[in-house]
Structure 1
Amino acid sequence: MLSLKIGIVDEIYKQWEDITWIKVKIGNKEEQAVNYNKLTGGIKKGDKVVINTTAVDLSLGTGGTHFVIYNLSVKDKKLKGEGHIIKLRYTPMQFKCFAAEEQESPYHNIIKKFKSLNGLIVAVGTLHSMLGPVAAMIKWLKPNVKITYIMTDGGALPLPFSLTVKELKEKGIIDKTITIGHSFGGDYECINIYTGLIVAKEVIKSDVVIITMGPGIVGTGTKYGFSGIEQGYILDAVNTLQGKSFAIPRISFKDKRLRHSGLSHHTITNLNEITYSRVNLILPILDNEKNKIILNQIESSKIPKKHNIMFVDGSQIEKALRYFRLNITTMGRKYFDDKEYFYALGATGKAIAHQLQQNR
């Protein structure tokens, strides 16, 4: 069940076109909440709101904030905007959006005539924190490339919740965004990963596409019970449409959970069992001991036979992050706390930049 409470908006401390961060008074306590302006309407100080407190009640990390689901102070709530595709379907929060595929869209015929991605470079990750470093490395090495981010519905559904995406767009690191499935709020809305990729290629004319879920990943400590398993079948989708696929590896030697030590089981499970087509896996060059651990993990799997593996020096990621003044964290850890994680992302970005150079 939902956990719902009524509060009074006490302060508006961040406000953009799609999202407003507020302080709301619940009884005698002032707590943080989020209002999605295009979902629940505008909001102002003094408004009486119904908020969903479920995430905070469960003491969750990412997403551990309240969310406005109804503003009792706004009387006029009329259906606005174009489109007829429903997202969050058959829930109390279902809403319509204008999908790029629908018949009234100016892109409908372009999508219908699609034939092939024709080698479009697509990098697929499992964590939202992978987006910034990979994109920054590519853009630092190849400033004129057009990078599109496709956000899946494996994590946060509203793209405006991601402060990372906002920063990357403001700094010109990513150029356009697409939200697929039940995620929403991108520059383009699409129904699934296939049409999302087609829009990235045919409408946006992207040079590189990076695909990850939004903030927050669901995990259960079981082999298949994690939302990042989507990486496996998304890589196959890229190859089905004749793109050039890169699997972004998750590597850490600072994560205390054994299943994520070295090359994470997320990467191993996806590439060993879930992905059927051949993809490119770029691994970072680390010190001898850590490289040996990763090699042992790979050699005990089917990955070397199924996929293309290349080792690349990703240490320049520090310079790329510093150049763009990015302070990306993963599981609360910064660059100096978990260098190998970032080296893996730098290596992937560097390999993609090299591939772009070869394609010219």
Structure 2
Amino acid sequence: MISKKVGIVESIKHSDDDLQDIRVNVGGQSQRAYNYPKMTGEVSIGDKVVLNTTAVELSLGTGGYHFVISNLNNMESDLDADGHIMKLRYTPYQIVVDSVEDHESKYHDIINNFESLDKLPVVVGTLHSMLTPFVASYKRNNPNKKIAYIMTDGAALPLYLSLNVKNLKQKGLIDSTITIGNAFGGDYECINIYTALITAKEIAKADVVFVSMGPGIAGTGTKYGFTGIEQGPILDAVKKLGGAPIAIPRISFADKRDRHQGISHHSITVFDKIVNVDVNIPITIYEDEKLNKIKAQIKENKLDEKHNIVFIKNNKCKEDLEYFGLKVKSMGRNYDEDSEFFDSASSAAYYLMEVCHD
């Protein structure tokens, strides 16, 4: 289940309080590793570290590096937390967080007294790479409105792994972060999506909420075997709490796999089989051949009978990204190589401006 090796820290390429990008000598070879200082302590050059090398040995697409399990030169650390809620529960890495729901939390009564999201727009994506184009398009046109990002535990668990989030926060484009389930590291820690949505509205005072997993996604090529299936229950939760659910469809014409051509089978499964409520689905208007394929998929799966499909004219995604100096990549492809994928997230922002404007 797990492969471990011992390595020596050779160099530190980048280091901050959340993440260290290091190079370690493992069996005479220099290899990349990540260290989370808040979990395993800060490492220094020359330190001997125990590494989780599993992902590299499996040649996983999102695992081209090792993770530090422990630093043999700095083994001990002291408890530094006020809360009582555990994440990564019943594992050697379990951590305590100051969860908003905790009975001793200053936010406890706010969570307890919640009534409704009052039609707060909540945009739900699947891949983490949908976050940046949405934020760029929304913030360029609404610079004074607040965005809260909720990261689920569908992929990476530490928020610290996302350099996208760090960059967007440093640029002032994301106003607050919330981590749920066993994901951790946000400005606010929550037990589940319901309390996270409440937190976004009542505590973070967000004007719009974006929800997706962190970096990475698990897929198997089967109808139901992918972590992005969480999009359905999240959309249900938004509607249940009185919010306005907006779903980003996964769309691509660059993916070589037939099941991801046009509207991905992931999105079709969620919209057809998983979500129990009607939701708003913005679709970018493309040239005829691509748009005709998408319309045929919508008709074949009767998605327009179940949901509110809205076609959005949007050719500004790349311009919005460049305005903020942002770069995007998904499945190894940048904007020019897979523009429809990123346009889909951007169009959710333009949908909000067209339909959900004040």
- TM-score of the pair, normalised by structure 1: 0.98
Distance 1:9 1:36 in 2: 14
Q: State the match for 2:254 in structure 1.
A: 254
Q: How many residues matched?
A: 358
State the match for 1:286 in structure 2.
286
Distance in 2 between residues matched to 1:356 and 1:204, nearest whole Å: 20
- 1:320-335 to 2 correspondence within 5 Å? 320-335=320-335
**Deviation, structure 1 residue 91:** 1.2
User: Which residue is equivalent to 1:170?
Assistant: 170
Residues in 2 aligned to 1:176 and 1:139: alpha-carbon distance in whole angstroms: 14
Contact 1:314–1:344 (CA<8 Å) still a contact in 2? no
Encode CA deviations 1:255-284: one digit per residue, 9 max, x unaligned.
Answer: 000000001111111011100111100000
Tell me whether 198-207 or 13-22 shows the greater mean CA deviation: 13-22
Q: What displacement does 1:319 show?
A: 1.0
- 1:75 to partner: Cα distance: 4.2
5+ unaligned residues in a row in structure 1: which ranges?
none
Question: Residue 24 of structure 2 aligns to a residue in which SS?
Answer: strand
Note the residue ranges of structure 2 that are not aligned, 5 or more in a row.
Answer: none
Which residue of the partner structure matches residue 186 of structure 2?
A: 186
Q: Deviation per CA, 1:81-108, whole angstroms, max 9, x where unpaired?
A: 2111111111121111111110111100
- Partner secondary structure for residue 205 of structure 1: coil
Partner of 2:115: 115
Q: State the secondary structure of the residue aligned to 2:329.
A: coil
Letter in 2 for 1:253: F
* CA displacement 1:212-236 (0-9 Å, x = unmatched): 1001100000000000000011000
Match of residue 161 from structure 1: 161
RMSD: 1.0
Cα distance in 2, alignment partners of residues 75 and 221 from structure 1: 41
2:199 corresponding residue in structure 1: 199
Moved more, 280-289 or 346-355: 346-355
What is the CA–CA distance in structure 2 between the aligned matches of 1:171 and 1:344, rounded to whole Å?
Answer: 23
Deviation at 1:12, TM superposition (A): 1.1
My pick for the range that moved more, 342-351 or 143-152, is: 342-351
Q: Does 1:148 pair with 2:133? A: no
In structure 2, give the amino acid aligned to 1:280: N
The separation in 1 between residues aligned to 2:177 and 2:12, in whole angstroms, is 26
- Cα separation, partners in 2 of 1:7 and 1:333, compared to 1, 3 Å: same
Cα distance in 1, alignment partners of residues 108 and 24 from structure 2: 43
Counterpart Cα distance in 1 of 2:356 and 2:307: 20
1:340 counterpart residue number? 340
User: How far did residue 314 of structure 1 move?
Assistant: 2.0
Which deviates more from structure 2 when the two are superposed, residues 189-198 or residues 62-71?
Answer: 62-71
Give distance in 2, aligned partners of 1:15 and 1:129: 23
Q: Deviations over 1:337-360 (max 9, x none)?
A: 112112222211111133453x2x
Mapped to 2, the partners of 1:69 and 1:97 lie a distance apart of 20
Residues 1-360 of structure 1 aligned to structure 2 (within 5 Å): 1-357=1-357, 359=358
In structure 2, C-alpha distance between the alignment counterparts of 1:45 and 1:242, rounded to whole Å: 52
Cα separation, 1, equivalents of 2:284 and 2:261? 15
**Percent of aligned positions that are identical:** 54
Q: 1 CA distance for matches of 2:347 and 2:339? A: 12
CA deviation string 1:301-325 (max 9, x = no partner): 1311111011001211111011011
Letter in 2 for 1:278: D
Shift of 1:329: 0.8
Deviations 1:167-196 (A, max 9, x none): 111111111100000011111110000001
User: How far apart, CA to CA, are the structure 1 residues paired with 2:71 and 2:131?
Assistant: 33
User: Which SS does the other structure have where 1:342 is aligned?
Assistant: helix
After superposition, give the CA deviation of every residue in 1:138-191 in whole Å (9 maximum; x if it has no partner).
Answer: 111111110010000001111110111111111111111000000111111100
> Match of 1:139, as an amino acid?
K
Contact in 2 for aligned 1:88/1:94 (Cα 8 Å): yes
Letter in 2 for 1:275: V
Q: Distance in 1 between matches of 2:164 and 2:75?
A: 34
Separation in 2 of the partners of 1:243 and 1:22? 43
Cα distance in 1, alignment partners of residues 194 and 304 from structure 2: 27
Normalization by structure 2: what TM-score?
Answer: 0.98
The alignment partner of 2:202 has SS state of helix
